[in-house]
Amino acid sequence: MKPIEVTRVDTKEVSCDGGSGASGHPRIFLNMGDNTEIECPYCGRQFKLLIGATPVGG
């Protein structure tokens, strides 16, 4: 069972092409709308919106 890949993003509009290799797929654009996360229907990758993220370091 593969671990679910979670990508943290700072915008509600993301694009996903599954990366290279077997899980690749045509590039699509996903919009979270009222949600703060979305899952790619092709490869299952999850995108989570960063909320109130505090910049680390300088």
CA 56 to chain centre: 21
Q: Residue 48 or residue 52: which is nearer to Zn ion going by CB?
A: 48
Let me know the angle formed at the C-alpha of 33 by 27 and 36, rounded to the nearest 5 degrees.
Answer: 90
Binding residue for Zn ion, selected from 14, 30, 38, 40, defined by CB under 5 A = 40
Site string for Zn ion, 8-37 (x = CB under 5 A): --------x-x-------------------
Q: Which distant-in-sequence residues (6+ apart) come within 8 Å of 35 by Cβ?
A: none
Residues that bind Zn ion (CB under 5 A): 16, 18, 40, 42-43, 45
